[in-house]
Amino acid sequence: MFSGLKDETVGRLPGQVAGQQFLIQDCENCNIYIFDHSATITIDDCTNCVIFLGPVKGSVFFRNCRDCKCTLACQQFRVRDCRKLEVFLCCATQPIIESSTNIKFGCFQWYYPELAFQFKDAGLSIFNNTWSNIHDFTPVSGELNWSLLPEDAVVQDHVPLPTTEELKAVRVSTEANRSIVPVSRGQRQKSSDESCLVVLFAGDYTIANARKLIDEMVGKGFFLVQTKEVSMKAEDAQRVFGEKAPDFLPLLNKGPVIALEFNGDGAVEGCQLIVNEIFNGTKMFVSESKETASGDVDSFYNFADIQMGI
């Protein structure tokens, strides 16, 4: 617990919370860094604070806070009676705001060496991130209580790295290409009518292959729109992969699939070239043509969202 602090920089190092609950309350002008995984975290009555939270297995709940800037990852995210929050978020379910105003969201963008293991310990997938799909329980007609941060927002300008010697020992990077969670565009306006769906099947190198493909596609100027990690049954594969389904059915038993949506003019052809060049011999589903690609994307994400209750 951190309670009643003012003008302080405080934190917990990897291994110090180890999956327990945590409470932050009545803090003012503080920089707070939880570099570990936890069960649930509640933040009450905090003002003008910078907060980083490592992966939270359950919920993160902000109540009666204002002027706070945060980076965090969790299963559920909820904000009530708050104003002026900026949140770089990774959330497995739909983020919820209630009786709150001027809440701004961006995609989680953070790295330190222990973070990938902490995601596993918290039972969170780095590919299940609905950061921009916000539900406002108390909408006001003609007003928007939330918005997305500018796409070029620099995380460190909002959530600076810690300055105390103890916390500086955690080797943090906020560069997009090093982020544990892939940086996606989410619900932002797409730059092109052309999207491409790629589905990677479970295996020893699936996560590494997904990261490599994202790096290659983003490096060529395409945008990563969204990602998903989910288990598929035979009937799901039939619906999503159509006549190609028999090729992939034996692979579904190995574990969940990882799906990536890329966007940009030429995304389908660009993706096919990269997959053939770099991942030759690895079985993947890639949209066949520009004409079928948007249907691929819609059918996969509709199935995935229903399965995950989003």
Q: Which residues are annotated as a binding site?
A: 58-59, 75-78
Q: Which residues are annotated binding-site positions for GTP?
A: 58-59, 75-78
Residue labelled with tokens 């003019």:
265
Got the DSSP string for 265-276?
Answer: TTHHHHHHHHHH
CA distances, 196 to each of 125, 266, 288, 291 (Å)? 22, 9, 9, 10
Closest CA to 162 of 54, 55, 33, 48: 33
The angle, 0 to 180 degrees and rounded to 10, between the axes of the packed helices 290-308 and 267-278 is 80
Cβ(209)–Cβ(229) under 8 Å?
A: no
With the C-alpha atoms ordered 16, 56, 231, 128, is the resulting torsion angle positive or negative?
A: negative
From CA 263, how far away is CA 62, in angstroms rounded? Answer: 34
Residues with Cβ within 8 Å of residue 60, at least 6 apart in sequence? 40, 41, 42, 43, 53, 72, 74, 76, 77, 78
From CA 35, how far away is CA 219, in angstroms rounded? Answer: 30
Strands 66-80 and 146-148: unpaired
From CA 222, how far away is CA 56, in angstroms rounded? Answer: 31
